[in-house]
Structure 1
Amino acid sequence: MPTLRLRVELLDVPRPVVRILDIPVETTLHGLHLVLQKAFSWRDEQQHSFTLGPSRWVAESAGDELPEWGVTAGDLLESAEGELVYTYDFNDEWRHSIRLVGTDRRYRKRATLVRGHGTSPLEDCGGARAWASILRDIDRAAAGELAALENPEAYRATFGEICPLEVQRDFASFDEWEKSFAMPAVKKVDVVAEPKASASKRASGRLSEQPAFLDPAVAENLLGAADRRGVLHALGEYFGSPLLTAMIHRHEATVCTMLSDVHAKRVGRTLKGLLQILPGTVRSQETEAEAFEMVDEINPGWGNRETLVLLERMFCLVGLGEQEEPGIVFTVDARRALRLTDIEFTHHLAGRFRSLRGERFVTAVLAFLYIAHGDAAAARLAELRSRTRLEEHEQLFDDLGEGYFPRRRAYPLACDLVFDRIYAISEPLARVVPKEEDPHDPGIYVTNVALAAFARECLAGLEHGNLLPEELVAELS
């Protein structure tokens, strides 16, 4: 019985949400966790556990808890008289019932999402009762009963000016658009993967820590190409991605590449203000509340701890903070930067991104290309190649993953690493300088003009020597 068929149902929700999955028999509980995250469109940002009777498995075991990477889902499901329960997010407590409903003699290396129905709840919405209230408001808005909404402010903050009928359609069923995300994502999961924390303890020196372009022979060719044609074209040739190439061409064709003072002030005021609030080894409730309020004023609904953590990671990346649990502390450079005006701070921050070295530099370049030109380039390329914009984005990260780790065909691992690095720059910026509605195409949201200008500023005057860490440049010279 090399393949197991599972029926997974989200419990306690007002409308059924079910996924039918085929998984290889050797799938670990951690591998199943990754599969469920993709199948239900969760973001894997909260804690989780599996329970069967009195036993409980978690990513990092402690006390009576067991490690989820040391046991296969098949061993538990085949012997289970009842159901295996997967709980995600211990605050909202999304509980999933997992039952074995069939087996297959055919062997599959990858998990497969066979079918599903019902759309998963919005993450961090407050749990099943809050989700039921949101669904009622969606139905009322679609019926034109806006005055009867239970929480009109939350509805507007979540769905903005999107047509209520479109919102209702999107949340009524597990439609083709959602399947186009979930089905390929499930297939890319490494079903025998270990939790990142566990894997990192045993993986020092593994290929995942050594991108291919840090090989001296590869690096020499990369530096030579960058010297001849510039950093962007060298990376475009190296990764060989059509979408990356399209973004580079779009960048070159952009007339306005420099930040105006108006845009620089907007970006600097926000980021400088948050940098003043965030650092401190012990963050008080008052400090958090102030930061939450500041983010919510800019982008309603994003004033939360996740956003603060992302901002901290970004500030640490450019040397304005140093990580100390549970937050960050100022560096000397940060104290100096905070004495600059908002406009000066923005240009200073752009210079810090440009001066990163090695992998951090490459990641920053990719992130800012993606911020400034990703959506528009993907839309144009998709039109030319008769594909969807989503397919172009997915192909980009496949191409980047293979470029970083060409000798390792584990796309899920490679692409997750690349995406995490780009996400660490692009996502916090998107949350504090959010997208805007396209004035020429109502209902379509595009990168904020100020943020796009900041991204182009970060891409101005890239030094090819920054492609590699100092120690490797010294070795090559």
Structure 2
Amino acid sequence: MPDTLTLRIELMHVKPKVIRTFKVSSNSSMYELHFIIQRVMGWNDSHLHRFEVGDVMIQPKDPYGFGGFDDFGETKDSSKVKVGKVFAKVGSKAKYEYDFGDGWMHKLELVERSESSNTEVLPVVVSGKNACPPDDSGGPWGYMALVDILKDPQHKYYNERKEWVDAVMGKDKFNPKKYSVEAVNERLVKMYEEE
């Protein structure tokens, strides 16, 4: 029976800090972990991604057939690498990059490894802090500028940025301090029901 891995993920270079703790099966592939991270964090899965484990890149196998994805040293196909191999012991670390243009870098760490129970539903979010930035918000510095602008209705770009955020996230839906573990866990259940 596969183990249950408790992972902590933090979006790097942003304030307020965006942190999640979640459980996943050690038998999941790194490719599956990408989709789980997308839901757990709140991303839209509209950009390329990769994992970095030391000097090794783990990513989808050349998704567009262009070639050149293997030019960065040792590269492994994420569909063939198990999460339990990357996160073999407590303290194991990796980085996850999403959207190479905006450069959203995350650090992942295994905080607990335990035997799975037959009743445990995985994946599941244990805790989370603060909202994920909207996709295409300009990377860490663009996002922090956006948060500052939205705090000040008198800012010269307030109306423009508020209109953009409302169009992307839904009218008055975005709050950088808000994160709902329950809502995300519902999305994770739906993700597996759709398979």
CA distance in 2, matches of 1:3, 1:180: 20
Shift of 1:157: 3.6
1:185 and 2:187 correspond: yes
The AA in structure 2 aligned to 1:32 is L
Match in the other structure for 2:147: 135
1:93 and 2:103 correspond: yes
CA distance in 1, matches of 2:43, 2:113: 26
Q: CA contact under 8 A between 2:152 and 2:158: conserved in structure 1?
A: no
Question: Relative to 1, partners in 2 of residues 1:40 and 1:72: Cα closer, same or farther, differing over 3 Å?
Answer: same
Match in the other structure for 2:41: 40
Match in the other structure for 2:176: 171
SS in 2 for 1:78: coil
Q: CA contact under 8 A between 1:31 and 1:189: conserved in structure 2?
A: no
Q: CA contact under 8 A between 1:140 and 1:149: conserved in structure 2?
A: no
CA distance in 2, matches of 1:81, 1:54: 17
Match in the other structure for 2:166: 159
CA distance in 2, matches of 1:136, 1:153: 13
Unaligned runs of 5+ in 1: 191-410, 414-477
1:104 and 2:148 correspond: no
Match in the other structure for 1:116: 128
Matches within 5 A, 1:4-43: 4-43=5-44
SS in 1 for 2:20: strand
CA distance in 2, matches of 1:106, 1:99: 19
Q: Which gives a bigger RCO, structure 1 or 2 (Cα 8 Å, sep 6+)?
A: 2
Shift of 1:31: 1.1
Match in the other structure for 1:70: 80
Question: Relative to 1, partners in 2 of residues 1:80 and 1:105: Cα closer, same or farther, differing over 3 Å?
Answer: closer
Aligned residues: 180
Shift of 1:73: 1.1
Unaligned runs of 5+ in 2: 63-68
Aligned with residue 194 of structure 2, among 390, 402, 412: 412
Matches within 5 A, 1:50-449: 50-61=51-62, 62-63=69-70, 64-78=74-88, 83-107=93-117, 108=120, 110-141=122-153, 146=154, 148-150=155-157, 152-159=159-166, 170-174=175-179, 176=180, 179-190=181-192, 411-413=193-195
CA distance in 2, matches of 1:157, 1:36: 24
Deviations 1:426-456 (A, max 9, x none): xxxxxxxxxxxxxxxxxxxxxxxxxxxxxxx
Q: CA contact under 8 A between 1:133 and 1:150: conserved in structure 2?
A: no
What is the aligned-residue RMSD (CA, Å)? 2.4
SS in 2 for 1:110: coil
TM-score, reference length from structure 2: 0.81
Higher strand share: 2
CA distance in 2, matches of 1:52, 1:27: 17
Question: Relative to 1, partners in 2 of residues 1:25 and 1:188: Cα closer, same or farther, differing over 3 Å?
Answer: farther
1:2 and 2:14 correspond: no
Deviations 1:257-281 (A, max 9, x none): xxxxxxxxxxxxxxxxxxxxxxxxx
TM-score, reference length from structure 1: 0.35
Shift of 1:122: 0.7
CA distance in 2, matches of 1:45, 1:124: 9
Shift of 1:27: 1.3
CA distance in 2, matches of 1:167, 1:66: 38
Q: CA contact under 8 A between 1:22 and 1:113: conserved in structure 2?
A: yes
CA distance in 1, matches of 2:121, 2:185: 15
Shift of 1:83: 2.1
The AA in structure 2 aligned to 1:11 is M
Deviations 1:68-116 (A, max 9, x none): 0111111111258652011111111111111000122233452111111
CA distance in 1, matches of 2:101, 2:127: 28
Q: CA contact under 8 A between 1:24 and 1:109: conserved in structure 2?
A: no
Q: CA contact under 8 A between 1:5 and 1:101: conserved in structure 2?
A: yes
Question: Relative to 1, partners in 2 of residues 1:22 and 1:38: Cα closer, same or farther, differing over 3 Å?
Answer: same
Higher helix share: 1
Shift of 1:16: 0.8
Question: Relative to 1, partners in 2 of residues 1:139 and 1:151: Cα closer, same or farther, differing over 3 Å?
Answer: closer
Q: CA contact under 8 A between 1:24 and 1:110: conserved in structure 2?
A: yes
Deviations 1:119-165 (A, max 9, x none): 00011111111100110012113xxxx2x3455423334337xxx9x
Q: CA contact under 8 A between 1:50 and 1:84: conserved in structure 2?
A: yes
CA distance in 1, matches of 2:182, 2:4: 23
The AA in structure 2 aligned to 1:159 is D
